[in-house]
A and B are shown apart, each in its own frame.
Chain A
């Protein structure tokens, strides 16, 4: 049929074609260029974005699960109430992680790979990649890892899920390789590296610290591998000095992305009104947390907590009071009398977010010492070092508003020494209860250690119609979109790991 038509119109078309043809796609190449975008990535800037995104990607409701905070309402109180209707709140870390930081680090790695002069850039990107992936796998278990974020480069639109066991093996070896490849004489990201401004010696410490964290994660499932990696990490050198703490600095004004993500989230979701009463989502500190701090005479209580007393923030320890988590969706009449985060410290938008602290290293080292994997110091001394570092760390976050006088630190340390006479389990309880208090507000890492060690010994909230039968989560649900868009991979992961359920234990939690 085409032939037939061409025969009749061909003559006319060819005449017109002579006139028009040459100009028919003239300038198309330049017309189709986005004037507001560039064709090549600048790895430095993409890496900075990946640092912001990787740090910001967390499930904020876990702060309620770890019983630091709660809300009287179901929606916002999901973390502390686990109501079935809100289970889709467990999806976002997964959904945003891959399209933001995982994608971005992939671009950075692709850009700097193969250039010997950029070996530090590659190593730092790989270390950061491990940090980001580890946060995801610790929440969900098996996840796309080895073939993730290859949608553009390899047209892989339905990545398979890797077993967490394999992900851990890969991450640990990647840290090892990266740490060893760092070279102080070569170029770095410089100022684009928000954490260390390119200091390779510090990146090495971060790599080994992460190795310590991930190695210790395996104590329940593969104690031998745990020992191997923990030992290796300690030998490599971990973060123990305040100056080495991995942290991302933020600004108090300007774009949201430049603000401390935890502070900004708490601020916007609840405490922006600053009157203790009209909290947007009905949030307050939970009674479990505040009571514990009071019972131990913790000098951090006035640093982190306030009560609006006549409309004015009051840090007096004795009047601090946490809200119970079982309030069933009705705002309590005495709502204003409950404690909430201190705007000068916890809610400080311009405060740095701590990515890996000296305190965490010390507590993990304490456990290593208890297990006999480390003998460089006593468990007692390491524990004490952890508590001291944790108490100092609020001055890193909030400057003078967070500074606890040395005398108070010493007094608290003296009163809260490690019970070296206790059983291993008793000491573990003490370490990871202190860990809970010390890492606040990084609930996600506390949640991981809670699952591994069972501490702090939180009493779950058996709220009506909760999704877990009154138990604390063991993992997060895969986004429902995965069933829709990546069905086979999803099904394989569920078949391997167990039901896509909040109580299914992930590999290292078995």
Chain B
């Protein structure tokens, strides 16, 4: 109570007032010392306060952390006058209050101190009763962190039951003299350090050298988080929601693409990996999709500087063929072992300093740095995982291969029906001929998925060296990832070299540099979408009595594709696996360098330059002998992409008044993005089976150079009042090269504040911490693509006369109308929330409400081709996302040997398309193979509505038939559902028992729909159970005709296939609820007690069993995984025959030397 009152008033009152406070406080505590004459006479001058209170005051006033052994300050007081003299320097102030106390301090960080007795021997003599104390022995040892093995300086080491203590030196070593009277007694050393849990170690007799590892205490570490531009801020000061995830969470149960690992971890972050095999992209949206068809993924930032996250050649489309490959995004190139932490800045305020691209939130990756330590620290991390197909479709196995109720008994009939399960009842008969021309028993083949796809494997090995001294610290890491997909012949390899150097050149100048080199090689990445060249169609379509392996190897003696069905476009999957060639290589270099210069105390300038550059080479060969395209085709991309950022900032820290801290930051930023690309396409290999671009009868080389520049100036100011009330304001002005010169810049501001209720008010004891926060921010943005303000004309590749037409979109090859008046769009977010910690930090809540609105959105909308164009770029969209995020954390059990932590996050995002262009109520963003369904934005509806047809029914629910064709009438296009899950949640449980730990993550998404092209085709091929009615005696149809009269007919068994085939025209038959709950991750770890292995200089070692996507606990789709997406574009909501989803499990070994 005393502390709370002091906090409230300190230091806004005079020292006289302060003294009265003390007196008053004491008067309530006890009558004895009240109104003593001496106190009255000397007034305030001689008043004293407990040292502990004084230290607490300093902690709050200067925002410093002070560690000391429990009980060290008890019973000590200091004259309150010492506090009278205010200095700007925390260290000076601390020194003063300790001046009379026989205590010393050690500065162990810019704002961290630890306290200890100056001369333990003397102090001990005074305190230990009973006889003379003489040194009884010396205990030496070292202290390190369990997190990374770094040796810790400034750790307080004390002898329990005495006041004997010391501190570790720069190399983490300590030396403690133990008094004689401890001889024969149980000797316990207590280790305490800021940011770490206190640890007690029993020293056995005779033991003189011990090494101790301290466990990081997450509650104290999360106090400081990395925010925009890499600035560390106290979490309590933020007016918006930030979540930090430690790097360790990505290195055990690892995903090749580190972004996928965010799934389920953070409220409001909707993360999903794609079904495209190893090396694939991820899709992350934070608080919904903010733009109708801009890139809705967050900005990725490494150590304060943006990196590129584009997919070379663009993301795959829903209906593409052959070269419709996910070539991997930028974040896929980051090695999880290099990550210290990931901060997710969700709100506009958090992102305001990054400008336009941050309107979708920012994912800040802080990489590991070197540390001051003795010798070289070595870390080795190895993971081996296996993966298997997770979902096997629920096919019918009653009627087998064939058509019209007849099974094939000749090779020709078998080839005609290779993908038709419309044959006779599966009866084990022996006159059945397969597509291999052999007779087989007519039995169900239920293992085609398992037989077609193999067990995928991924081996990751990484080695890191860290070290350094006061002047220079470094960290170097090398990592190798070698992945083999579940589709045979698919591989992905990634090598990463990362070097981080920090140097302090003088007191005023320090430099930081980071260099990362990546080599990524993909081989035979699978296609998705339409049938040609997509190997995933084969196990889907193949008749249910045919063993898929009969198709192997898919080619004849000449190397030409072998027929397995009636449609040449439905490629033989084994031919694709064995003869199609896809190769891509990405050579990537990320370099960052910064220099900071402290001009005068508290005024720091920093200049940073960063460049993310990659050279990309992609070839895709449809070989000679492909049935559908016998002479073959070729596609290639060669591109150089760079993202360059230059940033200069100045930061000045001061105090406006005694109670008011003030930090102001200003800067300029220039960003240049350039893509210099050649696309090579061609057909017909002149010399068969020789696959070179030089060997094509027809070939086209198309150059594309895309260049965008954004220049910015920005500033922000942070004001705090007594470390209780915080206010941050920022402003930024951006100039965009992609917009109309008349309207190419925008200023946008933000303001955010927080208030620490628990420090300001007397709250019930149950509350340990309470904070409310609110913020409002705008972010402006330009057009993502260059050259959209002027219509231009381009030559068309021709072998004859010169040809010209309007310049088509380089990615989609469509006619897009440019817009000479394009101006910036604006995204405005406000959010408010509170955080509380209860019951001695055992229970915590963090709740946020946000509302985010995008106006003047730059929309590339599909328009009627009769306008002469396919798309128009308009500045008209308005889109809103609002929602609530809740995070509950709990520590139900917290004992020495056993701990249980639980964390549950849930978020509901409600999106609404408010306005499209005048006269437009909906725009189309994607269409499926065969136009079986569309994805539209519709006014008044959420982002991305699936649109399609239904089987027409009358008011009483009767199916309406077209009497001419005898088929159910197709309804006009209508809204079928929402493609984006509004409700997302995750539940993490962590258990620790001695050296064992176990954690699991449940991840759920709810409320979206998925349109399945897989099921559509499985229906056409007679493989789904829904196609069973009528197989024996024909299908009796009843309903009404278009006049309303009763209608009935029977579809003969011979005509069942065409009847069911026509089901594809009714989109609603293949629409499903996409909700799911998955057991996303399991980690079972054992910390090997390396201290017992004396021979090896191992600091720590752990071995873990890890699993990802192990189980789906709840889903509504029988035949596919609801997360079966294969593009990271906005076109979600379609399952379109990509690679099946997998479950992954394996072992992880982490060792530190």
Contact = CB atoms under 8 A, between A and B. Distances in A.
A469 to B, nearest CB: 4
B1021 interface: no
A1 B751 contact: yes
A103 B815 contact: yes
B1062 interface: yes
A194 B802 CA distance: 11
A235 interface: no
A454 B776 CA distance: 72
B668 A464 contact: no
A370 interface: no
A508 B736 CA distance: 54
A246 to B, nearest CB: 17
B869 A152 contact: yes
B549 to A, nearest CB: 23
A98 B717 contact: no
Q: Output the residue of B731, B741, B751, B936 with the most chain A CB within 10 A.
A: B731
Contacts of A467: 965
Interface in B958-989: 964-965, 967, 972-973
Interface string A79-122: 00001110010000011101110111011000000000000000
Interface stretch (A10-18, A206-214, A392-400, A444-452): A10-18
A31 B707 contact: yes
Contacts of A464: 1054-1055, 1058
Interface stretch (B83-91, B131-139, B627-635, B838-846): B627-635
Contacts of B1059: 465
Given A32-B787, A34-B807, A255-B698, A5 B751 contact: yes
Nearest to B662: A8
B698 A254 contact: yes
A293 interface: no
A484 interface: yes
B130 interface: no
Nearest to A136: B866
Interface stretch (A35-43, A62-70, A316-324, A351-359): A35-43
A144 B964 contact: no
Nearest to B934: A484
Interface residues of A, number: 106
A407 interface: no
Contact of A192 (B796, B802, B1065): B802
Contacts of A36: 703-705, 794, 807
Contacts of A192: 801-802
B792 A37 contact: yes
Contact of A24 (B711, B796, B862): B711
Interface in B840-886: 862-870, 872
Given A16-B668, A31-B709, A150 B867 contact: yes
Contacts, number: 308
B554 to A, nearest CB: 15
B715 A255 contact: no
B990 to A, nearest CB: 42
A253 interface: yes
Given A84-B965, A333-B412, A5 B664 contact: no
Contacts of B745: 24-25
A25 B631 contact: no
A369 to B, nearest CB: 39
A40 B1058 contact: no
Nearest to A158: B864
A48 interface: yes
B803 A48 contact: yes
A362 interface: no
Nearest to B730: A9
A234 interface: no
Given A191-B801, A464-B1055, A329 B697 contact: no
Given A8-B729, A25-B711, A49 B803 contact: yes
B302 interface: no
A273 B561 CA distance: 13
Contacts of A481: 862, 864-865, 924, 927, 931
A45 to B, nearest CB: 4
A28 B709 contact: yes
Contacts of A52: 803
B867 A28 contact: no
Contact of A48 (B567, B668, B802, B1054): B802
A465 B965 contact: yes
Given A152-B869, A258-B800, A465 B806 contact: no
Nearest to B1064: A85
A192 B798 CA distance: 13
A199 interface: no
A255 B870 contact: no
Contact of A98 (B797, B866, B917): B866
Q: Output the residue of B403, B683, B730, B787 with the most chain A CB within 10 A.
A: B787
Given A5-B751, A42-B804, A103-B806, A23 B711 contact: yes
Interface in B773-824: 776, 786-787, 789-807, 814-815, 817-818
A35 B705 contact: yes
Contacts of A29: 741
A46 interface: yes
Q: Output the residue of B714, B731, B807, B868 with the most chain A CB within 10 A.
A: B868
Nearest to B684: A272
B367 interface: no
Nearest to B924: A484
A94 B868 CA distance: 11
Contacts of B716: 9
A485 interface: yes
B667 interface: yes
A1 B776 contact: yes
B700 A485 contact: no
B403 A281 contact: no
Interface in B544-576: 563, 566-569
Nearest to B683: A256
A13 B867 contact: no
B113 interface: no
Contacts of B417: 330
Interface string B731-744: 10101111001001
A149 B868 contact: yes
A162 to B, nearest CB: 11
B869 to A, nearest CB: 4
A96 B800 CA distance: 22
B802 A99 contact: no
Interface in A132-187: 143-144, 148-152, 156-159
B206 interface: no
Interface in A230-257: 250-251, 253-257
B266 interface: no
B930 interface: yes
A331 B869 contact: no
29 contacts: A9-B729, A13-B666, A20-B668, A20-B713, A24-B713, A27-B709, A31-B707, A31-B708, A38-B793, A41-B793, A49-B804, A73-B566, A85-B1062, A98-B867, A99-B814, A152-B818, A157-B863, A157-B867, A251-B800, A253-B799, A258-B800, A278-B630, A331-B412, A479-B865, A480-B973, A481-B924, A481-B931, A484-B934, A484-B936
Given A257-B797, A280-B629, A330-B566, 19 more contacts: A5-B730, A25-B735, A25-B745, A28-B709, A31-B707, A32-B737, A42-B802, A48-B803, A49-B796, A84-B1058, A84-B1062, A103-B805, A151-B872, A272-B630, A280-B628, A331-B412, A465-B1059, A466-B965, A484-B924
Interface of B: 403, 412-413, 415-417, 563, 566-569, 627-631, 664, 666-668, 683, 697-698, 700, 703-705, 707-709, 711-717, 729-731, 733, 735-738, 741, 744-745, 749-751, 776, 786-787, 789-807, 814-815, 817-818, 862-870, 872, 917, 919-920, 922-924, 927, 930-931, 934, 936, 947, 964-965, 967, 972-973, 1054-1055, 1058-1059, 1061-1062, 1064-1065
When A and B form their complex, which 3 residue pairs have the shortest distance between CB atoms, in order from nearest? A254-B799, A149-B868, A151-B867
